[in-house]
């Protein structure tokens, strides 16, 4: 993408002023190299988002942005229901509430290395992964609705998790306002055997070592220590979320036309927040968020079970669980007044700063953990939310390295088998049901995660706390 298409504000802030039917500017946070590596579609999509009714302040783009469906992945936009604001299924995405949880093991690298291979094999055996993977859990209609209404609370009540986890999960483990009755029978059927499964694509489970600490005080508050070992899980609402997105996108295209919304891109299908379709989508999307929260809680339980086999006295504690693809009602300061806004984060992470009322007491003095996934061979990062992030992008930050190449292009360039062997020689054990999937997710297909994190930090979106390096990766 040509940086000349933007007006440079500082080293990591760029603007596109409103023109034509744009209602607000576009603001992108990235350094010049990251922008040059983005495809032109990011510019086009961010400008199209700026044209939607009721958008507030700006159409924001995070440093890891790449082309997505409707919104760019790494896009953030807030809408005001009192000013004709809309809810967009494309602005949330198909993998609703895809997100990350990181668990502290209390173990060191020295503890893991003697059993690294056996641990990798056991995790791969115990965690269902891959396209169409199913678990031993089967939900009947009543249990499905209970799960969709209660999220991680439901999982804990069924013995797949721990009560203490709940305060460390975004929304305390349960998204209020979920309406299982707005989720179609088809979506529920797709999810009946998928609870506790990792999925495919960019979903993963990694055992990671703390390789570098940048902020000792916050790392201490988070429970991160040099050479300590954590487990990070990245997945979402599986088939249910995808089905909800598919169905409501079609419906919203019709609704938008009926209410006179001129869509700049059909993929930006949306409906007024207070419309009947908008309210049904919100109910279904919130149910999908609960599905994702329950799913990650179950996966965390499986991880605890495997670790207990190798380390009987081990106690895995949840650092935090945060989602990416959501729309949440949040109160933000705009033009000197607090307003309730519907904040879309498509491939972006909530990043509340210190003293935010929604954070658990133990984290409130320092801020929310912001978990940035890398790829199989590169590092991941733990950041902390900054108070400056609210004015910058409604308390949002990047969510990962972000793709630099499409899956198709990656397949042409890399062999999955060779990637597995190369990473093994570096001490990183990969287990996956699909060598094709490994090739599609090749580390080289992603941006430099260090550059993405540095841009986010420079822009005031979040601050670096620690860098993690992979030891074991279970790839979906």
In 3-state terms, what secondary structure has residue 305? helix
Alpha helices in 311-415 (DSSP H): 389-393, 407-413
The one catalytic residue in 153, 309, 399, 408 is: 399
Q: Was 324 annotated as part of a binding site?
A: yes
Q: Was 401 annotated as part of a binding site?
A: yes
Q: Was 22 annotated as part of a binding site?
A: no
Q: 401 and 375 in contact (C-beta within 8 Å)?
A: yes
Write the pLDDT tens digit of every residue in 274-284.
999 999 999 99
In 3-state terms, what secondary structure has residue 55? strand
Q: Was 437 annotated as part of a binding site?
A: no
Residue 356: active-site member: no
Q: Was 373 annotated as part of a binding site?
A: yes
Q: 92 and 285 in contact (C-beta within 8 Å)?
A: yes
Q: What are the beta bridge partners of residue 320?
A: 102
Write the pLDDT tens digit of every residue in 43-70.
999 999 999 999 999 999 999 999 999 9
- pLDDT score of 189: 97
Determine whether 291 is exposed, middle or buried from the number of CB atoms within 10 Å of its CB (0-12, 13-18, 19+): buried
- pLDDT score of 402: 85
- This prediction's pTM: 0.96
Q: Was 314 annotated as part of a binding site?
A: no
Nearest CA-CA partner of 288 in 143, 97, 142: 97
- pLDDT score of 298: 98
Q: Was 476 annotated as part of a binding site?
A: no
| Tokens linked to 26 | 């576009």
Q: 81 and 273 in contact (C-beta within 8 Å)?
A: yes
Q: Was 475 annotated as part of a binding site?
A: yes
* Neighbour-count burial for 162-174, b at 16+ CB within 10 Å, e otherwise: beebbebbbbbbb
- pLDDT score of 201: 86
Q: Was 234 annotated as part of a binding site?
A: yes
Give ∠ CA 244-250-255 in degrees, rounded to 5. 110
Q: Was 178 annotated as part of a binding site?
A: no
- pLDDT score of 365: 97
Q: Was 355 annotated as part of a binding site?
A: no
Give dist(CA 165, CA 304) in Å, integer: 12
Handedness of CA 127, 192, 292, 447 (dihedral sign): positive
Write the pLDDT tens digit of every residue in 379-401.
999 999 999 999 999 999 999 88
DSSP 169: B
- Full pLDDT tens readout for the chain, 476 residues: 999 999 999 999 999 999 999 999 999 999 999 999 998 999 999 999 999 999 999 999 999 999 999 999 999 999 999 999 999 999 999 999 999 999 999 999 999 999 999 999 999 999 999 888 888 899 999 999 999 999 999 999 999 999 999 999 999 999 999 999 999 999 999 999 999 999 988 899 999 999 999 999 999 999 999 999 999 999 999 999 999 999 999 999 999 999 999 999 999 999 999 999 999 999 999 999 999 999 999 999 999 999 999 999 889 999 999 999 999 999 999 999 999 999 999 999 999 999 999 999 999 999 999 999 888 888 999 999 999 999 999 999 999 888 888 899 999 999 999 999 999 999 999 999 988 999 998 988 888 999 999 999 999 999 999 999 999 999 98
Cα 81 → chain centroid? 25
Label the pairing between strands 380-385 and 270-272.
Answer: unpaired
Q: What is the 3-state secondary structure (H, E, C) of 331-357?
A: EEEECCEEEEEEEEEECEEECCCCCCC
Q: Was 325 annotated as part of a binding site?
A: yes
Give dist(CA 101, CA 112) in Å, integer: 20
Q: 76 and 394 in contact (C-beta within 8 Å)?
A: yes
Q: 351 and 368 in contact (C-beta within 8 Å)?
A: yes
In 3-state terms, what secondary structure has residue 135? coil
How many residues does this entry show for the chain?
476
DSSP string computed for 54-66: TEEEEEEEEEEEE
Write the pLDDT tens digit of every residue in 129-165.
988 888 889 999 999 999 999 999 999 999 999 999 9
- Cα-based distances in Å from 379 to 3, 10, 39, 223, 262: 27, 27, 24, 19, 42
Cβ neighbours for 12, distance < 8 A, ≥ 6 positions apart: 29, 30, 31, 63, 455, 458, 459
Backbone angles phi, psi at 330, to 5 degrees: -135, 150
- pLDDT score of 134: 86
């Amino acid at each position: 993408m040509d940086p000349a298409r933007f007006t440079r504000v500082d080293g990591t802030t760029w603007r596109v002023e409103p023109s034509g039917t744009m209602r607000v500017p576009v603001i992108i946070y990235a350094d010049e190299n990251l922008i040059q590596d983005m495809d032109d579609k990011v510019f086009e999509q961010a400008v199209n988002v700026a044209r939607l009714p009721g958008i507030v302040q700006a159409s924001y783009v995070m440093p890891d942005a790449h082309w997505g469906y409707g919104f760019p992945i790494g896009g953030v936009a807030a809408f005001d229901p009192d000013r004709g604001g809309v809810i967009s299924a494309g602005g949330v995405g198909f993998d609703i509430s895809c997100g990350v949880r990181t668990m502290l093991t209390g173990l060191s690298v020295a503890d893991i290395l003697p059993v690294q291979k056996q641990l990798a094999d056991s995790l791969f055996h115990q965690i269902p992964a891959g396209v169409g993977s199913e678990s031993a859990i089967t939900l009947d209609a009543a249990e499905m609705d209970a799960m969709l209404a209660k999220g991680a609370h439901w999982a804990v009540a069924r013995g797949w998790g721990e009560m203490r986890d709940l305060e460390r999960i975004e929304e305390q483990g349960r998204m209020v306002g979920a309406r299982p009755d707005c989720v179609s029978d088809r979506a529920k059927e797709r999810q009946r055997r998928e609870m506790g499964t990792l999925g495919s694509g960019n979903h993963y489970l990694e055992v990671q070592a703390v390789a570098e600490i940048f902020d000792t005080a916050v790392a201490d508050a988070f429970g991160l220590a040099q050479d300590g070992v954590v487990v990070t899980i990245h997945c979402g609402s599986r088939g249910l979320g995808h089905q909800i997105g598919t169905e409501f996108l079609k419906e919203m295209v019709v609704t938008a036309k009926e209410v006179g919304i001129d869509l700049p891109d059909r993929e930006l299908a949306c409906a007024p927040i207070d419309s009947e379709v908008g309210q049904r989508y919100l109910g279904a999307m919130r149910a999908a968020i609960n599905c994702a929260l329950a799913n990650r809680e179950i996966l965390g339980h499986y991880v605890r079970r495997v670790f207990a086999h190798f380390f009987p006295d081990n106690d895995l504690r949840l650092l935090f669980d945060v989602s990416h693809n959501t729309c949440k009602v949040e109160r933000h300061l705009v033009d000197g007044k607090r307003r309730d806004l519907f904040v879309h984060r498509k491939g972006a992470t909530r990043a509340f700063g210190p003293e935010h009322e929604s954070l658990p007491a133990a984290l409130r003095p320092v801020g929310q953990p912001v978990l940035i996934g890398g790829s199989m061979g590169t590092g991941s990062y733990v950041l902390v939310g900054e108070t400056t992030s609210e004015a910058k992008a409604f308390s949002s930050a990047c969510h990962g390295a972000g793709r630099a190449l499409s899956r198709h292009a990656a397949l042409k360039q890399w062999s999955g088998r060779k990637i597995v062997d190369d990473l093994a020689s570096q001490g990183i054990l990969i287990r996956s049901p699909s060598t094709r999937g490994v090739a599609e997710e090749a580390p080289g297909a992603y941006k430099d995660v260090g550059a993405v994190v540095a841009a986010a930090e420079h822009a005031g979106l979040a601050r670096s706390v620690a860098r993690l390096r992979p030891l074991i990766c279970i790839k979906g």
